[in-house]
Structure formats: structure tokens, C-alpha cells
Amino acid sequence: MMKGIKGVGFQHNFGDDRNYVRTTYGTFDGQWAYLFLNSRVDEPMDRFGGGIRVQGATDDLTVGANFAQVADRAGDSKRGTSNVYRQILPAFDWEYRSAGMVLSGEHAFSRTRLLPYTSTSQSLRGSANRIVFRGRFRAFSLNGNVEQVTSNFITLGGGATPDRVRYNARADWRLDRQWQLFGNYDQFYNNLSKQLSTRTRYETTEAGIIRRHLFGSRASALTISARSRSKLTDDGSSTGRSHRLRLKYKDRAFNNALNYTLDYERLLNKDKSGVSNTYLSNNLYHLSVGHRGYNIGEWKLSGDLDFGRQELQNPTTEKFDVSDMLRVSLRANGSDGNELGASYDLGSNRVTVAGSGSRQNRGLFYFTVAPKILHGGSIRSEYSLNDYRFDDVTRNYREGLLQVLINWKLKK
């Protein structure tokens, strides 16, 4: 919620940053321009909200409690025929750590009042629960999670995929210092309240092997894996299956000054959208290069390069969209704690819903200073120019953002 709100927030620590109380309140405007009343024709109805979080922790147990409230402004002239939502959402989370094991959970409950434009109001109640396990015993490790989100669970101030039960498990077995086997299984399905005509199930299985210390390099690792993904409806009205082969290699070069990762996936059967080949996801890839930096006087220069194409699951349609990205970043760190940096991001999303694709361009420049008066704190100033383009050209917009972030460690 702290990331979704444009407003104010406050946090007070009790001894350390694991024990605190935090509160925030503001507006959920998607663009800064929307903060000015009637500033744009496409401005949606105002949505305000906030919440409070309290967290306490010991050496092996952490417990947090949250309470959030969000409400649309029904009298907003921008409402049009839109539905109005008002919601309270209490939640709590916990984490327990023991030797070789971490067990954690998140539990949220939403109570939402829906006020349609032309019909009577409705009361919707839902819940979301997730349990996560991470464990290691000698050469064997197991990670898994189970989550359930009911069909009426709504998060006006955050993100969640309602009407879903999901299971995920990954097992790793390290044979020796060079060889490792792994397997991954993921399944989820919908129609929890039988509100749909049929249930759809998605299942993904992956198995592979990792070989380390290739070519005499201690940092090298080669991963080879095969993945199968299937979709099946209980009534047989829709079926689909894809098979992929993945190769991934990472290493260091130039006396460990350069880190790089090469990741490639090949679709072994036809990629189809409707009745025509799309070819968009036949080849997925990712290249990452990072320079650990070299010194020029009192400054250390470093940089990163990332580009690739990947599949991302659409939380609304449950299908897989194709995303292309390019990112270049440069940093200069001074011995006195000062920092200069710049980055450029270019991306595009080709989604499974026709007419919903988008493209983004973002340039960012920032500098950070660490004056002694802040007692180890810092002041960061950054300016970014963001340009967004959509298949629906009426949604196109550009915004320049100036932010000043002050991290001040107050002394008692």
C-alpha cells in the first residue's frame, strides 16, 4: 500500500526496524496529473484510503497486523456510470524460523460495499490465505507454498487474483559440488464457488540439472531443463499443452569484474493464438551483464545491461502475455557516501486481450548525498521522464516526475 498511495506516511521503530508501527493515507491516483481536479478528460473517479501496520519480532518469530480502508468518492464528477466501492481489509502475517526451516503465512479478509450506478448495493466478503515453507536438510532442499483466494476477495489498494487455489513445490538435490538435480511443480484452478459453468486447471511441471564449475571457473553454472505446461477444463471445452527446453549459463569474466547470464527457452510445439500462429513466444531469452566497477579517484563506476523477452501470466485472463524489455543503468559511488546514477528503460507488452498492448519509455537521473548532519542518513533527488503508449491511443500520456527522498536517522 505504501507504493500504491500518493500521500503521506509515518513509521516509528521500537528499538530496531523489525519492531515498528507504520501508518499511511492518500489517494490511489494512477498518474500524478490526476491529483489536480479535472486535470484530464480520462481521469477516473477519486479513490482515497490508507492503513496502519504493527509488527513485533523475536529471534525466531515475526508477527504483523494490518488494517486498511479504501473508499471511492461517489460525488466525484468523474464517476460517470462507474461502480463505487468502499472497503475495509484486516490482515495479519507471521514467520517462524528454526534450524534449516522457515514457515510463514499471510491471511487477509475483505469486506466490500459495492454501490452500482443503477441497481441496489451489494455486500461482498472474501478471504485470501497463503502458507509458505522453505527447508533444507544436508544436500536436499524443499520449497513450497499453498494459497487460496475466494471469488469475492477484492483488494482495492493492492493486487490479487481472486477465485484461485494454487499449489507450488520445488525440490533440489545437490549430488556433489558440481552436479545438482531439481524439479518444480505448479498447479492452480478456479471456480471455487461453482459460479462458473466449468473449472479450468493449469499445471506446470519442470525437471532439470545444474552443472557448476565449468571450464575451470568457480562462478560458472549451466542449467538444462524441460518444462511442460497444460490447460484443461473439466467439461473438455478447452485444452492446450506446451513443451519448452531451457538453457541457462552464468559466469564471470575479466578477473571477476564482469558478471553475465545467458538464458534461452525454445518452444518445441506450435504457439497458437486462436487458429493462427503468433510466433511471439517461440523463443524466449534474457541477457544480463553487470560490471562490478573500477575506480577513478574517489569514485567507483559500475553499470548493468539487461534485455530479453519473457512470458508473464495475466492475472485477469490467466493467459500468458509476451513482454520485451531493455534496461541500461550507470552508477558512480563516492567514498564519502555520495552517489550519481542514470538509467533508461524500454519495454513493450503484447497481451492476450486484443487492443490492450502497451509500450513504455523511462529515463531516470538521480544523485544522493550523505551530509553529516543527518547522522548516517541521506538525501536522494531524482528526476524521471516517463512515456506510455497504448493500443488504445486515448490512454497515451507522458509525465515528468521530480522526487526528493530524505532518510534522516533522528537521535534521541
Q: Rounded to whole angstroms, how far apart are CA atoms 185 and 145?
A: 11
Total domain count, the chain: 1
Task: Give pLDDT tens digits along the chain (412 positions).
Answer: 445 678 888 888 898 889 999 999 998 887 777 776 556 677 888 889 999 999 999 999 999 999 999 999 888 888 888 889 999 999 999 999 998 999 999 999 999 999 888 888 889 999 999 999 999 999 999 999 999 999 999 888 766 778 899 999 999 999 999 999 999 999 999 988 888 889 999 999 999 999 999 988 889 999 999 999 998 898 887 788 889 999 999 999 988 889 999 999 999 987 655 444 566 788 999 999 999 888 888 899 999 999 999 988 776 666 778 899 999 999 999 988 899 999 999 999 876 666 678 899 999 999 999 888 887 788 999 999 999 998 888 888 888 888 888 887 766 4
Residue 225 lies in a domain: yes
Question: For the domain that residue 161 is a member of, what is the CATH number?
Answer: 2.40.160
- In this structure, the strands spanning 140-149 and 122-137 are antiparallel
H or E element at residue 118:
none
* Domain enclosing residue 270, as ranges: 85-407
Residue 47 lies in a domain: no
CA distances from 281 to 102, 106, 241, 284, 379 (A): 36, 34, 14, 6, 43
Is the distance from CB of 300 to CB of 321 less than 8 angstroms? Answer: no
Q: Residue 25 phi/psi, 5° resolution?
A: -155, 145
Residue 390 lies in a domain: yes
CA distances from 374 to 36, 298, 339, 379, 410 (A): 33, 22, 16, 9, 7
Q: What is the 3-state secondary structure (H, E, C) of 231-268?
A: EEECCCCCEEEEEEEEEEEEEEECCCCEEEEEEEEEEC
Residue 346 lies in a domain: yes
Is the distance from CB of 84 to CB of 63 less than 8 angstroms? Answer: no
Residue 33 lies in a domain: no
Cell 519495454: give the residue. 347
- E strands, 32-137, in order: 47-57, 61-72, 84-98, 101-115, 122-137
- The 10s digit of each residue's pLDDT in 347-371 is 998 766 666 788 999 999 999 998 8
Residue 56 lies in a domain: no
pTM: 0.81
Residue 241 lies in a domain: yes
Is the distance from CB of 367 to CB of 381 less than 8 angstroms? Answer: yes
Residue 20 lies in a domain: no
